[in-house]
Amino acid sequence: MKKTYRGSCHCGLARFEVEADLDEVRVCDCSMCRRRGALLHRVAEGDLKLLTPLDQLTLYQWNTKTAKDYFCPVCGIQPYRRPRTAPEQWSVNVRCLEGVDIETIVRKYVHGSELSSI
């Protein structure tokens, strides 16, 4: 069942709301996700409400430049991203959501390290 969550980066500059059924989070082994340590949950375009405009965040793109990683320019936290394998969706960093016990959510391990560079 979907629920509305509020989230933000560490300093609070990047604020958002998301409607989601947190039935699982993705743990990816690509070079970026491994270092970042985010627990990601994908949602449809209309389920994420940005309370801070994207132009106030820093955009990072690498490799194929399909994924779009948005970071707070002040504290460096990444609250959400556009994933390479589903750029029409959002991936929300569940660690940025208020009131979520991440230990109770099923973790799905994905192998982004196996994606080709083209």
Domains of the chain in start order, with CATH, are 3-107 (2.170.150.70)
| Cα–Cα separations (whole angstroms), residue 3 to 19, 47, 84 | 5, 10, 26
Structure confidence at residue 112 (pLDDT):
82
Structure confidence at residue 71 (pLDDT):
96
* Confidence label for 114 from pLDDT (cuts 50, 70 and 90): confident
- Sign of the CA dihedral 103, 108, 113, 118? negative
Distance CA 56, CA 53 (A): 6
* Confidence label for 75 from pLDDT (cuts 50, 70 and 90): very high
Structure confidence at residue 30 (pLDDT):
84
